[in-house]
Structure 1
């Protein structure tokens, strides 16, 4: 049965230069869902995608070449030189085999065929989140968050798992900005219980520690303020928690410790001098799972949808925008505002002074509803009345267990 809602996944009303990405405003964007399709077209599309995936599956990463700017990639079977380019394959056994339902289900169950990028080194909390999402996946460390995004875009990995917020430290704003800059889709979330440990060289007592290293992005040092203050140590920022553990192991300094996971201690041969040293026992980090293609939303389990939008100037416009969800009993679980980098200030008329300047914001919202539900479709259609730009970042199953 065809859905009756009109396409509302991207709403272009503002010049693309405001956000620095021209294809961000296209209604036919690769990340946008087209809600109008019939069963026959859907079947043809699925067959085409399976053939593409099969071709990708038999091509090694080393054989793939990066896309050259201005040249469209070829998703079909690569042509050979000479007359063979116009003929059939002589050996039918060399043709790529389409993926079966068993192949697809095996990937989704245990992640045994999935490569997942994360920021940090082995033993990082992000790696633990990736293994929670895909227990048998191959994890791929990246130096920076943006490199994890690019690894997915360049087909070096299948997915990326990146932190987005912590229950104590708050949001990780860098990743919100990267979500808008890159064209990846949110396909899942992971909530991870974070247990910080004080690590040191074998045989060292925690009273001997004078300096402690850890990652500032997740605010690991700030989350263990009471413990570290009692020890009277000097706090030093590093690239990530696992990197701090690696530095302690490599330098061999007995007066230097690290705040990291127990798994990092095992990997780098350190002792756990103290466990669960965070100030708040309920220390949870939420991670997003990113992929090149979106997943088809359903209603078989609790789903969450993430969107980003901008609003026109006017009194009560934000209130009206949020009301479209309240009117349909849709629960908002997250709202984050970020100034637009390309156009940070908005100039408007003022009756007294002639003009005034305000920050111009992007609004990120998570709400508990699936895009397969009419109420979610109607809510976003209603939101378009106030939004100058609207993009769905992803619709994905909620992580309901820790």
Structure 2
């Protein structure tokens, strides 16, 4: 038998497989109707485990492939049932509220809370996200959240991730504890410089101030210094302002070139960061859940049961819909041994077929589930 004949045989088998698959999915609709009527859960792990045990036993040397084939069939069946079952979910209500007032264009104006002072990277992100926004400077990430929650500001801008130092955990914790929605994001290229009063040389410096993230992004340079104290502060721009106002000729700040001009400092060294490819992502948060036109990124915080295959169950739901996951990061849960939460970002829109039912099924199956928003990155 030549290759053409073999392929013809495969085509025949594939046609038979397709018909059986369509019949199986139609039967899954019947299962969904029964479960809906009798208020039964979509997942029946005991039955799936029993079928997989039988399949692997019957498949012989192909048992590994058969196991994955049937696991995928189960996931597709559950995804279809999730579309049909009408059990209410928090994420469903949140998305429907967001879509009820969908806005065609992201606003260019409004009061926006920003941590730091003039010259901070957060301020640059504010100007990019809301070019005609009115910035209200506050002292901490918590204060940004409070300003938005109280209605003092319509928006808040927060750093959420750096290409060198990973996620800003403090911001994720705030998003987990407070009901704010991400409505936009942007990405800035960050350049750190060592700034000091005019005329100060490297040998004069005995203390360096900056934000903890910037300190981490310049760790190689800092580790090579002797007799220099590194002191964390709230913000890189605040560090520059503090050095300028102190008049201390033994102090320096890790900050940006615009801050040197803004606060009358000079650059002592402009090659101090570990990586030239140093980007920070900033998010814009709002009190009310709103989805603007062009939203194509979904952010989630989830936790799963501490058992084998729990994370795979989550990932298989995404794979079944062909959704690309652009971020997956684990974070240990404080006070619990070997338990983790996960930060996820998906390239998807809740208006795409199957996405909202998938999110609802994740909410039902995950021990903890937070839908942070569906938004666009600029």
TM-score computed with the length of structure 2 as normaliser: 0.69
Structure 1 residues 223-238: aligned runs within 5 Å:
223-230=217-224, 232=226, 233-238=228-233
SS of equivalent to 1:34: helix
Higher helix share: 2
Where does residue 203 of structure 1 map in the other structure? 199
How big is the alpha-carbon RMSD for the aligned residues of Structure 1 and Structure 2? Answer: 2.8
**1:185 is matched with which residue?**
181
1:153/1:128 Cα in 2 relative to 1: closer, same or farther (>3 Å)? same
> Which residue is 2:356 aligned to?
377
| Partner of residue 268 from structure 2, selected from 269, 273, 296 | 273
Q: CA offsets per residue over residues 160-193 of structure 1, 9 Å max, x none?
A: 1111111111111111110011111000111111
| Map of 2:4 onto structure 1 | none
Q: Is the 8 A contact 1:31 1:185 kept in 2?
A: no
**1:34 and 2:29 correspond:** no
Aligned in 2, Cα 1:337/1:31: closer, same or farther, shift over 3 Å?
Answer: farther
SS of residue paired to 2:96: coil
Aligned position for 2:161 = 165
Contact 1:31 1:293 in 2 (8 A): no
The structural deviation recorded for 1:319 is 0.8
Of structures 1 and 2, the larger Rg is shown by 2
Q: Which deviates the most, 201-210 or 367-376?
A: 201-210
Tell me what 1:387 maps to: 366
How many residue pairs match? The answer is 290
Structure 2: runs of 5+ lacking an equivalent = 1-87
Partners of 2:274 and 2:110 lie apart in 1 by 35
Shift of 1:337: 3.2
1:132 aligns with 128
Q: 5+ unaligned residues in a row in structure 1: which ranges?
A: 1-25, 47-100, 346-357
Please say if 1:364 is aligned against 2:359: no
Change (3 A) 1:287 1:280: same
Q: Residues of 1 paired with 2:266 and 2:180: CA distance?
A: 39
Given that 1:302 and 1:368 are in contact with CA atoms closer than 8 Å, whether structure 2 keeps it comes out as no
SS at 2:321's partner residue? coil
Q: How does 1:1-400 map to 2 (within 5 A)?
A: 27=89, 32-34=94-96, 108=107, 111=108, 113-216=109-212, 218=213, 220-230=214-224, 232=226, 233-296=228-291, 298=293, 301=294, 303-340=296-333, 344-345=335-336, 358-384=337-363, 386-399=365-378
CA separation of 1:384/1:249 partners in 2, compared to 1, >3 Å: closer, same or farther? closer
Give the 3 Å change call, closer, same or farther, for CA 259–384 of structure 1 in structure 2: closer
Contact 2:91 2:360 in 1 (8 A): no
Cα distance change, pair 225–308 in 1 and its aligned pair in 2 (3 A)? closer
Q: For 1:261 and 1:290, locate their aligned partners in 2 and report how far apart those are by CA, in whole Å.
A: 25
Q: Measure the CA separation in 2 of the matches of 1:126 and 1:31.
A: 32
Gap change, CA 1:314 and 1:229, over 3 Å in 2: closer
Distance 1:375 1:297, change over 3 A: farther
Say whether the 8 Å CA contact 2:208–2:252 is kept in structure 1: yes
Kept in 1, the 8 Å contact 2:112–2:133? The answer is yes
* Distance (Å, rounded) in 2 between the aligned partners of 1:210 and 1:384: 52
Q: CA deviation at 1:382?
A: 3.8
Aligned partners of 1:317 and 1:386 also within 8 Å: no
| Aligned counterparts of 1:279 and 1:180: Cα–Cα separation in 2 | 31
Q: How far does residue 27 in structure 1 lie from its aligned partner after superposition?
A: 4.5
Q: Residues 207 and 231 of structure 1 are in contact (CA less than 8 Å); yes or no, is this contact kept in structure 2?
A: no
TM-score, normalising length: structure 1: 0.65
SS state at 1:250 partner: helix
**For 1:118 and 1:36, how far apart are their aligned partners in 2?**
24
